[in-house]
């Protein structure tokens, strides 16, 4: 009898111990702030080496190019992101080194770049709605982070569609789970990916570009279709995209002629082709459309046709743990820039040859030699054709 009682007691102790161990082995549910990440990057530039024409400028890109340019903090970004729930993801990115205008000597203003949240519709979040200020899904290089891009500035042809690449609005994105993982890997593996903007995207946005209010009660509409395909060791991605709307030209010179309500048609279509650098890479895009542009013959801002694109060729090679990526880009653009004064008229041809060196994942150095011919004209600045060459240097820290 005592033996039976002892056996029962031992069994109860074993069950109790097993139960306690089972409880301690259960994974602890994380709070939302424990899944949050903070990262960022900073870029320092100098553009005046081997400069042949100090009057050559690029207001859309790096405003320290040319006369009175010097050392410049091009970007100082902090990125806060994470899942605050099973189907809600938030992303906030300020830039602490923004310049308001090329005509203002004050620099290093803090300004919001991204401020949005994604709401997943299905269990795997393959269907998402993005709400807030984010990149407009138009063009591969527009959506590619400046942290990953090889040339120091975005091409004029597609970037003239959306200044700072962003606007306030709502977008719907869809991509299968395996494709979403591939998009993440293309960035993580250093293959200069654009990030996850879906296989299909469609949205509506204000149309006056980032950090500006709507000006005509007429939202722009945008749509994009893109798909990456893996063929043996190579990955190819092709895209088509387009948007339509009306934009308001807000900055004009006294004396220029314009439509009474300053509302101009703003329509574009573009095609993209990407061969990811494994090791040889090609990145090419071209767009056509209609938008506001200054006409010096009539001294007027008029709707005119625009066209242009670029092609970037690169070769990624590893030397031990270091990475070298030589590259060459050619670009062309003929059309207006709706966000510049008088929707300034441009005719651009530019060649760039450079190399990116990554001694480790936290530091990058880029040398970029540029051969440029830029005609940029508005009501006050007519017959303005500037040609020149310059060597540009950028140091980037990733953290």
CA 278: distance to chain centroid? 22
> Domain 27-398 has what CATH class?
mainly beta
What's the rounded Cα separation, in Å, for the pair 368 and 49? 11
The distance in angstroms from the start CA to the end CA of the chain is: 70
Q: For a pLDDT cut of 70, what percent of the chain falls above it?
A: 91
What's the rounded Cα separation, in Å, for the pair 260 and 342? 14
Report pTM: 0.89
pLDDT grade, residue 215 (50/70/90)? very high
More confident residue, 89 or 8: 89
pLDDT reported for residue 17: 53
Rg (CA), the chain: 26
Length of the chain in terms of residues written: 399
Q: Are 41 and 370 in contact (CB under 8 A)?
A: no
pLDDT reported for residue 30: 73
Max Cα-Cα span within the chain: 114
pLDDT reported for residue 22: 47
Sign of CA dihedral 255, 257, 263, 267: negative
pLDDT reported for residue 31: 75
The DSSP element (H or E) to which 16 belongs, if any, is: helix 2-25
* Coarse DSSP helix, strand, coil percentages of the chain, rounded to the nearest 5 percent: 15, 50, 35
Helix (H, G, I), strand (E, B) or coil at 385: strand
pLDDT reported for residue 102: 54
What's the rounded Cα separation, in Å, for the pair 169 and 258? 28
pLDDT reported for residue 228: 96
Question: Across-strand partners of 371?
Answer: 351, 389
The DSSP element (H or E) to which 156 belongs, if any, is: helix 156-159
pLDDT reported for residue 101: 62
Q: Are 227 and 238 in contact (CB under 8 A)?
A: yes
pLDDT score of 355 more than 80 = yes
pLDDT reported for residue 1: 52
pLDDT reported for residue 9: 52
pLDDT grade, residue 365 (50/70/90)? very high
Closest CA to 397 of 367, 352, 370, 359: 359
Per DSSP bridges, beta strands 166-174 and 127-135 are antiparallel
pLDDT score of 26 more than 60 = no
pLDDT score of 27 more than 70 = no
Angle formed at CA 283 by CA 189 and CA 148, multiple of 5 degrees = 40
pLDDT score of 13 more than 60 = no
What's the rounded Cα separation, in Å, for the pair 381 and 180? 47
CA atoms within 13 A on the CB side of 167: 27
Name the burial class of residue 398, with classes exposed (0-12), middle (13-18) and buried (19+) by CB atoms within 10 angstroms of its CB: middle
What's the rounded Cα separation, in Å, for the pair 270 and 239? 8
pLDDT score of 35 more than 90 = no
Taking only the tens place, the pLDDT of each residue in 83-107 is 999 999 999 999 999 877 655 567 8
pLDDT score of 347 more than 70 = yes
Taking only the tens place, the pLDDT of each residue in 246-284 is 999 999 999 999 999 999 999 999 999 999 999 999 999
Computed over every residue of the chain, the mean pLDDT equals 92
Closest CA to 339 of 286, 301, 296: 301
What's the rounded Cα separation, in Å, for the pair 60 and 52? 20
Taking only the tens place, the pLDDT of each residue in 158-207 is 999 998 999 999 999 999 999 999 999 999 999 999 999 999 999 999 99
Taking only the tens place, the pLDDT of each residue in 46-74 is 999 999 999 999 988 898 999 999 999 99
Q: Are 239 and 137 in contact (CB under 8 A)?
A: no
Closest CA to 240 of 266, 267, 273: 273
pLDDT reported for residue 36: 85
More confident residue, 295 or 16: 295
User: Which residues have a Cβ under 8 Å from the Cβ of 80 and sit 6 or more positions away?
Assistant: 36, 37, 38, 90, 91, 92, 93
The mean-pLDDT minimum among 26-40, 301-315, 323-337, 355-369 falls in 26-40
């Amino acid at each position: 009898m005592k033996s039976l009682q002892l056996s029962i007691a031992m069994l109860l102790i074993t069950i109790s111990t097993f139960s306690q161990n089972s409880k301690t082995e259960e994974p602890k549910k994380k709070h939302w702030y424990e899944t949050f990440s903070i990262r960022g990057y900073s870029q320092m530039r100098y553009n005046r080496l081997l400069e042949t024409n100090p009057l050559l400028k690029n207001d859309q890109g790096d405003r320290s190019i040319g006369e009175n340019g010097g050392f410049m903090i091009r970007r100082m970004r902090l990125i806060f992101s994470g899942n605050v729930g099973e189907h809600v993801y938030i992303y906030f990115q300020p830039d602490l080194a923004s310049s308001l205008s090329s005509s203002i000597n004050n620099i290093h203003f803090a300004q919001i770049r991204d401020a949005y949240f994604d709401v997943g519709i299905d269990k795997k979040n393959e269907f998402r709605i993005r709400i807030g200020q984010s990149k407009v899904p138009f063009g591969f290089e527009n959506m590619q982070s400046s942290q990953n891009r090889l040339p120091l500035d975005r091409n004029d042809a597609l970037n003239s569609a959306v200044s700072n690449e962003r606007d306030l609005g709502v977008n719907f994105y869809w991509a299968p789970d395996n494709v979403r993982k591939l998009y993440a890997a293309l960035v993580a593996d250093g293959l200069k990916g654009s990030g996850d903007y879906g296989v299909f995207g469609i949205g509506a946005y204000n149309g006056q570009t980032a950090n500006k209010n709507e000006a005509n009660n007429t939202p722009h509409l945008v749509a994009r279709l893109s798909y990456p395909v893996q063929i043996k060791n190579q990955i190819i991605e092709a895209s088509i995209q387009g948007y339509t709307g009306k934009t308001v030209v807000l900055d004009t010179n006294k004396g220029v002629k314009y439509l009474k309500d300053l509302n101009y048609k703003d329509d574009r279509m573009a095609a993209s082709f990407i061969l990811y650098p494994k090791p040889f890479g090609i990145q090419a895009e071209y767009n056509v459309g209609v938008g506001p542009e200054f006409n010096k013959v009539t001294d007027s801002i008029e709707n005119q046709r625009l066209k242009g694109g670029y092609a970037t060729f690169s070769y990624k090679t590893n030397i031990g743990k270091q990475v070298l990526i030589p590259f060459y880009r050619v670009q062309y653009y003929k059309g207006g820039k709706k966000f510049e004064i008088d929707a300034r008229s441009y005719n651009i041809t530019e060649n760039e040859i450079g190399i990116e060196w990554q001694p480790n994942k936290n530091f990058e150095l880029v040398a970029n030699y540029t051969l440029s011919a830029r005609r940029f004209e508005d009501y006050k600045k007519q017959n303005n054709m500037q040609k020149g060459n310059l060597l540009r240097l950028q140091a980037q820290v990733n953290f």
